[in-house]
Amino acid sequence: MAGDQSQKAPESQKSKIESLLGPQIKKLAKLSKKLPLNFLLVVLLVIAAYFIGSLRTEVAYLKAGSGKVAVTPAGAGGQSVPNPAAAQPSGPVPKVTDRDHIRGARDAKIFLIEYSDMECPFCKQFHPTMQQVVRDYNGDVAWVYRHFPLTFHANALKESEASECVAELGGEDKFWQFVDKIFQRTTSNGVGFALDDLAPLAAEVGVNQAEFQTCLDSGRYTEFINEQGKGAVSAGVGGTPGNILLTRDGDSKLLQGALPLAQVKQAIDQFLK
C-alpha cells in the first residue's frame, strides 16, 4: 500500500499544487500591468516556496512507508505523520519526570505524551486537539510535551531550544504560552516561523529578551532535546506527532499521527474504564 501511495504521490501533488497556484497566477497576471515585475516575481516565489515545502513533507512521509524511519531528527529518526495508527510502544517509554512540561494535573490518572516538532504541519493541526483533551477531561488526563524536531525542518531544533529557554527564564506558564503562539503563527514545513522572531516572541510572553537571546545562543538545551528525540525512537515513535498514552500502572498505547479528537477520546476512555 505504501509503495502504491509513493508512486501516485508526484502526480497527485502536481495536480494539487497546480490547482492551488492557478488562481493566484491568474490574479497576478491581471496586476502585472500595474505592478513592477520584480515585485510580482517575489510574490510568486513566496507562494511557490510554501507549497513546495508542503509537498516535500508529504513526499517524505509517503517514501517512508507506514512504519519506517525516513529521516534523522536530532540524531534519531522520524517523519511528519498525517494519518493515524495505533500500536503498542516497541520499547520502554521514558518516565515522566520534573523535567517534563505538563499541562494539566500532575497527579492525573493518564499522561498523554506528545512528541512534537514545531515546524510539523500535522503537529500544528493536532495542537488544538491536545488543548481540547486537557479541557474535556478536567484533571483525569495531563498533556506531556516532548521535543522531536525533524532535520528536514530547518528551524525546528532552534524553536525547541527557544521554548526551553523561555521555560528556564519564565516558568511553565510562559513555556506553554510560547509554544501555543508558535503553533498559531508558523506556516510550518521547516521555516514557517523565522528564527529572528523568536526573541521578540519571548519578550511578548513576558521573558527578558536579552537573557533569552543569551540562552538561545549558548545551545545549552540541544543535548536535552536530542535525548528526548532518542527516547521517542526507543519507544517506537516513528514521526510527529507521536503520542503515547501512559497510565500510573505503566500501561501504555502508541497513537501515531494527527488523530481526530473523537479517536483520541476513544483510546483514553478505554484506559479510564
Q: What is the pLDDT of residue 35?
A: 53
- Indicate if the pLDDT at residue 8 is higher than 70: no
Residues 6+ apart with CB under 8 A from 201: 162, 178, 181, 182
Mean pLDDT along residues 135-147: 97
Tell me the backbone φ, ψ of residue 80, rounded to 5 degrees.
Answer: -80, 130
| Pairwise pLDDT comparison (62 vs 178), residue with the higher score | 178
The tens digit of pLDDT for each residue in 30-45 reads 555 555 655 545 445 5
Please name which of 73, 167, 166, 85 lies closest in space to residue 120, comparing C-alpha atoms.
Answer: 73
Q: What is the pLDDT of residue 273?
A: 82
Q: What is the pLDDT of residue 80?
A: 55
* Ranges 70-79, 129-138, 212-221: which has the least confidence: 70-79
Q: Which whole-number Å values give the CA distances from 263 to 50, 94, 266, in the listed order?
A: 30, 24, 5
Whole-structure pTM value: 0.72
User: What's the 3-state SS for 147-192?
Assistant: ECCCCCCCCHHHHHHHHHHHHHHHCHHHHHHHHHHHHHHCCCCCCC
The tens digit of pLDDT for each residue in 65-120 reads 333 333 334 334 445 555 445 577 878 899 999 999 999 999 999 999 999 999 99
Single-letter amino acid code for the residue at 128: P
| Pairwise pLDDT comparison (112 vs 7), residue with the higher score | 112
User: 71 forms bridges with which residues in the sheet?
Assistant: 78
Single-letter amino acid code for the residue at 123: C
Q: What is the pLDDT of residue 26?
A: 55
Which set of grid coordinates corresponds to residue 119? 515546524
Q: What is the pLDDT of residue 89?
A: 84
* Percent with pLDDT over 70 in the chain: 68
Which set of grid coordinates corresponds to residue 220? 545549552
